[in-house]
């Protein structure tokens, strides 16, 4: 099974929302390391998606229409930057980098995906340093710690019904089913399956460099962020025939969040006017969730994802010493075909972002809004993949507010 999953210019902000139906919510709060002087900030954003879909034609009396599949979510981030010397700066930041809030309405007995859900939360803390080698060149990097947990439920007729168990209580493997039925090897049914991934911390690093021409506000910054490995304590529950169930504890599921590369470019083009372009690559193909008993029962992966490339281009302008604004267009492209996991039923997005800020003394107030057109996709289950529901014409809106203080 598969899941598909700015630069702070002239102090203007565009709301961060990422893909409302995906899980990559990473924002560029690490841009604080490039601020002039000592600075602290805290921000909050809210993303409200509108994601609906319809079952593919099947033997059911009607095609069920799913409403509100992606739930609204709130992100909170903070950062503080301090100049130790004229050359050395330190920053401490926090942000929710990944997450999932997917829930399918509908009954598991009358719809293909009703009752399926994926709820996951993460929060990353980063301690960064920047050292100016010359007026034009600098290097930056540091350590990251990420807290994560999650719960996934599979339900609905697309998942085939209750799991078949051996006399000892373990799920039958695909090979055991084949021997019992005299047919070709096939996967176990997993409707009613649930996995809980206990809270765990993962650790990694970030490393980058920048070239600047202060006279024209030019900056090219490249940052590499390593993968983080989480070893989750795992509890798996299978639904069996006749209302029975089997629960398995004590195993560990290792999950790698993706390594990524961010490229941020900006340059002044006229008095008080900047253009900027940002690029982000995330190596989601290395992100896999394979709980022990699920893999034994089905021979399949519970979660895998395609790589994503995000592009942003925009312009920012200072209209007065106190007020600045920006506008940008964002395009998120996810590799692979349009078949996706029900746990992330959209693929990529196109967005327009508007933001503005107002400075009064040492305090800076920023706000922004982002409107997203989410990519069409078809949710699939099974091995090989079988399309179960279609999702199209979905949207989301994200809006945010931040307050900063120079000291």
What is the rounded average pLDDT for all residues in the chain? 88
Q: Is residue 270 part of a domain?
A: yes
Tell me the two tokens of residue 398.
Answer: 């994200």
The reply to whether 22 falls in a domain is no
- Inside any domain, residue 8: no
28-32, 95-99, 264-268, range with the lowest pLDDT: 28-32
pLDDT in tens, 348-387: 999 999 999 999 999 999 999 999 999 999 999 877 788 9
Q: For 41-93, write each residue's pLDDT tens digit.
A: 999 999 999 999 999 987 677 889 999 999 999 999 999 999 999 999 999 99
The per-residue pLDDT for 29 is 61
Largest CA distance in the chain: 79
> In this structure, is residue 138 part of a structural domain?
yes
pLDDT tens digits, one per residue of 150-164? 999 999 988 887 777
Could you tell me if residue 1 is inside a domain? no
Number of domains in the chain: 1
Averaged over 25-34, what is the pLDDT?
77
Question: 18 or 207: which carries more pLDDT confidence?
Answer: 207
The whole-number average pLDDT for the span 327-333 is: 95
pLDDT of 310 reads 93
Strands of 335-393, DSSP E:
339-340, 349-360, 363-374, 377-381, 386-391
DSSP code, position 106 = S
pLDDT of residue 284: 86
Question: DSSP labels for 27-93?
Answer: --GGGGGGSSSSEEEEEEEEEEEE--EEEPS-SSSS--EE---BPPEEEEEEEEEEESSSSEEEEEE
Higher pLDDT, 235 or 165: 235
Is residue 387 assigned to a domain?
A: yes
Q: Which two tokens stand for residue 256?
A: 């790698």
Tell me what pLDDT residue 148 has.
95
Specify whether the CB–CB gap between 236 and 293 falls below 8 A.
yes
Q: What confidence score (pLDDT) does residue 386 get?
A: 87
Q: What is the pLDDT of residues 131-145, one digit of tens each?
A: 999 999 999 999 999
DSSP 283: -
Which has the higher per-residue pLDDT, 15 or 122? 122
Higher pLDDT among residues 364 and 299, named by residue: 364
Distance, CA of 62 to CA of 313 (rounded, Å): 44
Of 47, 20, 18, nearest to 398 by C-alpha is 47
3-state DSSP helix/strand/coil % of the chain, to nearest 5: 10, 60, 35
> What pLDDT, on the 0 to 100 scale, is given for residue 344?
86
Within a domain: residue 195?
yes
Q: For residue 54, what is the domain's CATH number?
A: 2.40.160.60
pLDDT at 280 over 80: yes
Q: Which residues of 357-368 are buried (b: 16+ CB within 10 A; e: fewer)?
A: bbbeeeebebbb
Q: Give the whole-number percent of the chain exceeding pLDDT 90.
A: 67
Determine, yes or no, domain membership for 24: no
Task: Convert the pLDDT of each residue in 227-239 to its tens digit.
Answer: 999 999 999 999 8
Q: Residue 241 — pLDDT band, cuts 50, 70, 90?
A: confident
- State which residues form the domain around 95: 29-406
Of 380, 353, 342, the closest CA to residue 51 belongs to: 342
């Amino acid at each position: 099974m598969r899941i598909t999953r700015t630069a702070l210019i002239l102090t203007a902000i565009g709301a961060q929302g990422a893909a409302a139906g995906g899980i990559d919510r990473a924002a560029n709060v690490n841009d604080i390391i490039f601020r002039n002087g000592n600075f602290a900030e805290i921000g909050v954003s809210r993303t409200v998606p509108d994601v609906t879909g319809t079952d593919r034609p099947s033997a059911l009396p009607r095609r069920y229409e799913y409403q509100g599949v992606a739930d609204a979510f709130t992100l909170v981030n903070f950062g503080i930057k301090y100049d130790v010397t004229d050359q050395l700066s330190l920053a401490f930041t926090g942000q929710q980098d990944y997450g999932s809030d997917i829930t399918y309405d509908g009954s598991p007995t009358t719809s293909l995906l009703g009752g399926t859900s994926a709820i996951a939360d993460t929060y990353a803390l980063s301690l960064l340093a920047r050292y100016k080698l010359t007026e034009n060149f600098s290097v930056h990097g540091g350590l990251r710690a990420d807290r994560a947990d999650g719960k996934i439920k599979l339900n609905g007729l697309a998942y085939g019904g209750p799991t078949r168990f051996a006399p000892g209580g373990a799920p039958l493997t695909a090979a055991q089913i084949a021997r019992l039925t005299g047919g070709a090897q096939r996967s176990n049914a997993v409707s009613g399956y649930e996995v809980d991934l206990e809270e765990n911390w993962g650790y990694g690093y970030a490393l980058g460099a920048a070239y600047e021409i202060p006279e024209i506000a030019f900056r090219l910054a490249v940052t590499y962020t390593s993968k983080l490995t989480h070893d989750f304590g795992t509890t798996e529950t299978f639904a069996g025939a006749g209302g029975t169930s089997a629960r398995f504890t004590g195993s560990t599921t290792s999950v790698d969040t993706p390594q990524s590369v961010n490229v941020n470019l900006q340059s002044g083009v006229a008095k008080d006017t900047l253009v900027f372009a940002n690029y982000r690559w995330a190596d989601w193909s290395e992100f896999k969730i394979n709980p022990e008993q699920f893999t034994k029962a089905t021979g399949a992966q519970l979660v895998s994802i395609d790589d994503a490339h995000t592009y942003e281009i925009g312009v920012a302008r200072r209209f007065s010493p106190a007020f600045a604004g920006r506008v940008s267009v964002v395009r998120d492209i996810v590799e692979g075909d349009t078949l996706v996991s029900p746990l992330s039923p959209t693929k990529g997005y196109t967005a327009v972002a508007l933001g503005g800020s107002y400075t009064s003394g040492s305090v800076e107030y920023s706000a922004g809004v982002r409107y997203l057109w989410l990519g069409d996709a078809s949710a699939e289950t099974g091995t090989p993949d079988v399309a179960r529901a279609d999702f199209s014409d979905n949207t989301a809106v994200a809006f945010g507010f931040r307050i900063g203080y120079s000291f």
